[in-house]
């Protein structure tokens, strides 16, 4: 008799900001197939990552733990493949499990995917055209170059595995796209998109980094001036002011970013169509997310890492007709550390005590528990490496955000061993949604600062993370 437990398809892209999805109200993009998930399910408007960088976020999503626990704090700290993960628990519970696409948690025998019946992954970031994949096998697998476009190939592998699966057992399939990670390279089918369009500029494209901590001005990820020819697909003209450069470079890079996403959207449609054709739609949970957010010219930047909204916020849309009302939304705070507990709950598997996240299945039903979190904890560890972003941690509530730039490598692998004087930022997201003016030193916010510091330290204690020594009460 077929198993009645739901199937799970977890689609995750890389660096896809929610404000580049039309179901989130994007002014710059159209994503009709991703919109199908939101229209038939639930859109989460306050989903956040706990560390806005690829490898650490992926480790958290698999293990249900913060990075100081799973020890994947930077890009230079691969994940131990003996770590307990939600795919392993689903596999032990009788689920067929597979992952295709980006892994980015290390390669070789000690870091290859485990807990999966089938896997084929990219080494590191991978490339867009004719990528090399690591195919499942002994001693960390076998590398082979495959002709084609990476987003299509990952979907092809996923669909082939779905065709060959045991139809009497439920499955959990992880479809992890490389796209839209930098440098953006579109496929032929989408190369002409937006050629004759002017993409609306973000409100903060010309941010001057005044009224904030020095970390904002120090960051080296400004659109134009910190970009390379490979990002813009041409040599960079000389003689422009920085303002002119930002405006020119924004149009070039954002169009290629959106073209790459168009392929992700098309291939998501292929998966959804397959479920419809096979009669699996009612019995399959489909999730789409990204491993973190991304600056789309916001604050004049590309990339992520900061605790600012565009980097912190993750898209999260879920379709499950058995339980989720169509076209519903939720604004409670959910985190990437919660994902494993949710997946296990939906599959009827108990989450281990070691998992630090919490299932938000009640939220899928439109019910918010009275004790649901009112604040979240964030930490970026990779001090100054890649784009000169300072190490920091902080707390976000529905209205406020307090950030502490402790600006110290603290011996972390991959971080730069230079130390600066710590600084604080406080933003009132109600009056300053674009986070342009820190009010940390404003007398009117003294009480808010005190309350948020208490909340920050409470959350650190709850998750077991250490405060930086100069972070005083």
Which residues in 364-400 are b (16+ Cβ under 10 Å) and which e?
beeeeeeeebebbbbbbbbbbbebbbbbbbbbbbeeb
Give me the pLDDT at residue 470, please: 87
Give me the pLDDT at residue 473, please: 61
Give the mean model confidence (pLDDT) for residues 97-111. 96
Strand spans (E) along 73-208: 96-102, 118-122, 132-135, 142-145, 171-176
Give the mean model confidence (pLDDT) for residues 367-379. 98
How many Å from the N-terminal Cα to the C-terminal Cα in the chain?
Answer: 60
Give me the pLDDT at residue 121, please: 98
Give me the pLDDT at residue 1, please: 53
State the Cα–Cα distance between residues 141 and 431, nearest whole angstrom: 52
The pLDDT tens digits for 338-366 are 999 999 999 999 999 999 999 999 999 99
Going by DSSP bridges, is the β-strand pair 375-380/334-335 parallel, antiparallel, or unpaired?
A: unpaired
Instruction: Let me know: does 334 contact 44? Beta carbons within 8 Å.
Output: yes
User: Confidence class of residue 468 from pLDDT cuts 50, 70 and 90?
Assistant: very high
State the Cα–Cα distance between residues 285 and 342, nearest whole angstrom: 11
Q: Is the pLDDT of residue 107 over 70?
A: yes
Going by DSSP bridges, is the β-strand pair 392-397/171-176 parallel, antiparallel, or unpaired?
A: unpaired
Residue 118 forms beta bridges with which residues?
98
The 96-102 sheet, strands edge to edge: 142-145, 132-135, 118-122, 96-102, 171-176, 7-13, 284-290, 316-319, 42-44, 328-330
The whole-chain average pLDDT of the chain stands at 97
Q: At what angle do helices 54-63 and 339-347 cross, to 10 degrees?
A: 30
User: Confidence class of residue 4 from pLDDT cuts 50, 70 and 90?
Assistant: confident
Give me the pLDDT at residue 3, please: 78
| Alpha-carbon separation of residue 349 from 69, 360, 462 (angstroms) | 22, 14, 24
Q: Is the pLDDT of residue 2 over 80?
A: no
The pLDDT tens digits for 375-431 are 999 999 999 999 999 999 999 999 999 999 999 999 999 999 999 999 999 999 999
State the Cα–Cα distance between residues 185 and 233, nearest whole angstrom: 9
State the Cα–Cα distance between residues 299 and 223, nearest whole angstrom: 9
Q: Is the pLDDT of residue 284 over 90?
A: yes
pTM (two decimals): 0.98
Phi-psi region of 387 (alpha: psi -120 to 50; beta: other; left: phi over 0): left
Give the mean model confidence (pLDDT) for residues 311-317. 98
- The tokens for 178 are 């490389």
The pLDDT tens digits for 248-264 are 999 999 999 999 999 99
Sign (positive/negative) of CA torsion 238, 240, 245, 247?
Answer: negative
Residue 251, phi then psi, degrees to nearest 5: -65, -35
State the Cα–Cα distance between residues 304 and 295, nearest whole angstrom: 6
CA triplet 358, 362, 363: central angle to 5 degrees? Answer: 90
Percent of the chain with pLDDT over 70: 99
The pLDDT tens digits for 156-182 are 999 999 999 999 999 999 999 999 999
State the Cα–Cα distance between residues 173 and 161, nearest whole angstrom: 9
Q: Which residue has the tokens 């060959």?
A: 164
3-state SS, one letter per residue, for 364-404? HCCCCCCCCCCEEEEEECCCCCCCCCCCEEEEEECCEEEEE
Instruction: Let me know: does 439 contact 445? Beta carbons within 8 Å.
Output: yes
Q: Is the pLDDT of residue 83 over 60?
A: yes
State the Cα–Cα distance between residues 265 and 35, nearest whole angstrom: 9
């Amino acid at each position: 008799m077929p198993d009645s437990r739901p199937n799970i398809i977890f689609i995750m892209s890389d660096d896809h900001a929610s404000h580049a999805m039309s179901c989130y109200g994007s002014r710059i993009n159209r994503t009709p197939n991703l919109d199908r998930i939101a229209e038939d399910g639930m859109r989460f408007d306050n989903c956040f990552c706990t560390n806005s960088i690829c490898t650490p976020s992926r480790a958290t999503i698999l293990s249900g733990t913060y990075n100081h626990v799973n020890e994947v704090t930077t890009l230079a700290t691969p994940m131990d493949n003996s770590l307990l993960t939600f795919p392993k628990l689903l596999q032990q519970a009788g689920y067929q499990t597979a992952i295709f696409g980006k892994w980015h948690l290390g390669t070789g025998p000690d870091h290859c995917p485990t807990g999966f019946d089938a896997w084929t992954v990219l080494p590191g970031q991978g490339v867009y055209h004719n990528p090399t994949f690591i195919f499942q096998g002994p001693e960390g697998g076998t590398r082979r170059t495959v002709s084609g476009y990476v987003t299509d190939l990952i979907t092809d592998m996923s669909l082939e595995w779905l065709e060959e699966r045991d139809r009497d057992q439920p499955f959990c399939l992880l479809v992890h796209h490389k796209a839209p990670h930098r440098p953006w390279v579109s496929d032929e089918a989408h190369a002409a998109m937006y050629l004759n369009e002017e993409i609306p500029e973000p409100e903060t494209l010309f941010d001057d980094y005044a009224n904030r901590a020095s970390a904002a001005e120090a960051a080296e990820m400004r659109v134009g001036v910190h970009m390379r020819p490979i990002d813009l697909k041409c040599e960079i003209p000389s003689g422009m002011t920085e303002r002119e450069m930002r405006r020119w470079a924004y149009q070039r890079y954002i169009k290629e970013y959106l073209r790459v996403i168009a392929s992700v959207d098309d291939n998501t449609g292929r998966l959804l169509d397959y479920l419809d054709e096979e009669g699996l739609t009612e019995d399959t949970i489909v999730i789409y997310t990204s491993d973190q957010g991304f600056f789309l010219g916001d604050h004049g930047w590309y990339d992520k890492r900061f605790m600012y909204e565009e980097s912190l916020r993750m898209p999260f849309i879920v379709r499950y007709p058995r339980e989720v009302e169509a076209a519903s939304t939720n604004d409670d705070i959910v985190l990437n550390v919660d994902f494993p507990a949710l997946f296990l709950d939906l599959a009827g598997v108990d989450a281990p005590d070691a998992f630090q996240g919490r299932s938000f299945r009640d939220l899928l039903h439109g019910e918010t528990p009275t004790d649901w979190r009112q604040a979240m904890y964030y930490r970026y560890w990779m001090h100054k490496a890649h784009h000169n972003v300072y190490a920091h941690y902080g707390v976000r509530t529905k209205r406020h955000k307090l950030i502490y730039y402790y600006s110290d490598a603290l011996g972390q692998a991959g971080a730069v061993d230079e130390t600066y004087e710590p600084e604080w930022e406080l933003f009132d997201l109600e009056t300053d949604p674009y986070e342009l003016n820190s009010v940390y030193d404003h007398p009117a916010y003294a009480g808010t600062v005190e309350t948020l510091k208490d909340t920050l330290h409470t959350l650190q204690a709850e998750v077991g993370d250490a405060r930086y020594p100069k972070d005083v009460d």
